[in-house]
Amino acid sequence: MYRALDIAADILIYAVELAFDRAGLAYSVQRAGSLFSFTFGTPPEHGITDYATVQAQETWRYPAFFHSMLDQGVSLPPSVFEAWFVSAAMDEASLDRVIRALRPPHARPRRRPRPRSRGTHEDGPGRSAGPVVERASERDRREPLQLDPAVAAVLGVPGRAVAGTPSRSAAASCATP
């Protein structure tokens, strides 16, 4: 199980690094098992080891990144000071959604904007003020991505048309030592 979580974290980290590299952004990654975080800016030579060094990074970049991902249906940690958690609940479709959201806007398939809240207290009686949410089945009907063969080789998973995650059988085989 932990090996499968580490593989999923490897894939997410690689996808974010690839997106940041393509955007020409300086960044650093901090990781412990399947927990990780990113900071923008060039880290000090000794790495980011305390609050002062993380505060010296380009923290102002994170809100735009966070909201861009949220607009694509991906909820990240709300602060640059928080870690990303990979869990066994993240399946191929979940990881695929994250990887697709990392694509530059011009490379994403066109889709309707994500619905915002419908209704306010001014809408009158009988109107719902709850959020409008698109159904998961509508969100997940997208063609899979092809896992980069070099990444597949490094991660020890087959390069196949998926979101870059191991298949259920590969994940199950990772659970055994």
| CB 101, CB 72: distance < 8 Å | yes
**Tens digit of pLDDT for each residue in 17-53?**
999 998 888 998 889 989 999 889 887 787 788 888 8
Q: Is residue 10 predicted with pLDDT exceeding 70?
A: yes
More confident residue, 55 or 121: 55
More confident residue, 112 or 26: 26
Mean pLDDT value of segment 64-71: 90
Which residues, including other chains, have CB under 8 Å from residue 43's CB and lie 6 or more apart? 28, 53, 57
123's CB contacts (< 8 A; 6+ apart) are 129
80: pLDDT strictly greater than 80: yes
Whether pLDDT at 98 is above 70: yes
pLDDT at 171 over 70: no
Average pLDDT, the chain: 69
pLDDT score for 36: 92
pLDDT exceeds cutoff 80 at 114? no
164-172 own/partner pairs: CB under 8 Å, 24+ apart:
164/11, 164/14, 164/15, 164/95, 164/96, 164/99, 165/7, 165/8, 165/11, 165/91, 165/92, 165/95, 165/96, 166/4, 166/7, 166/8, 167/92, 170/4, 171/4, 171/7, 172/4
- Per CATH, the homologous superfamily of domain 2-106+137-142 is Aspartate Aminotransferase, domain 1 (3.90.1150.10)
Tokens for 164, please give them. Answer: 């870059």
Domain boundaries, the chain: 2-106+137-142
